[in-house]
Amino acid sequence: MSSSMRSPSLDLLAYLRENSLRETDVQRRLRQETDKLPESGWEVAPEQAQFLGLIVQLMGARRILELGTFTGHSALAMAMALPDDGALITCDMIEDYTDIAERHWKEAGVVHKITLRIGPAPETVKALVQEGEAEKFDLVFIDANKKDYDTYYEHALQLVRPGGLIALDNMFWDGRVLDEADTEKSTVALRALVKKLHADDRISFSILPMDDGLALAYKR
Q: What is the CATH number of the domain that holds 129?
A: 3.40.50.150
> Is 37 part of any domain?
yes
> Is 3 part of any domain?
no
> Is 21 part of any domain?
yes
Please give the pLDDT value at position 58.
98
> Is 1 part of any domain?
no
**What's the total number of domains in the chain?**
1
Give me the domain span that covers residue 189: 10-219
Please give the pLDDT value at position 5.
74
Is residue 43 within 8 A of residue 70, CB to CB? The reply is yes
Task: Give pLDDT tens digits for 124-140.
Answer: 999 999 999 999 999 99
Using CA atoms in the order 218, 62, 54, 116, what is the torsion angle rounded to 10 degrees? -100
Q: Which residues of the chain have pLDDT under 70?
A: 1-3
> Is 193 part of any domain?
yes
> Is 4 part of any domain?
no
Please give the pLDDT value at position 3.
65
> Is 24 part of any domain?
yes
> Is 5 part of any domain?
no
Please give the pLDDT value at position 83.
98
Helices (H), the chain: 10-20, 25-35, 46-59, 73-81, 98-108, 121-130, 149-159, 185-199
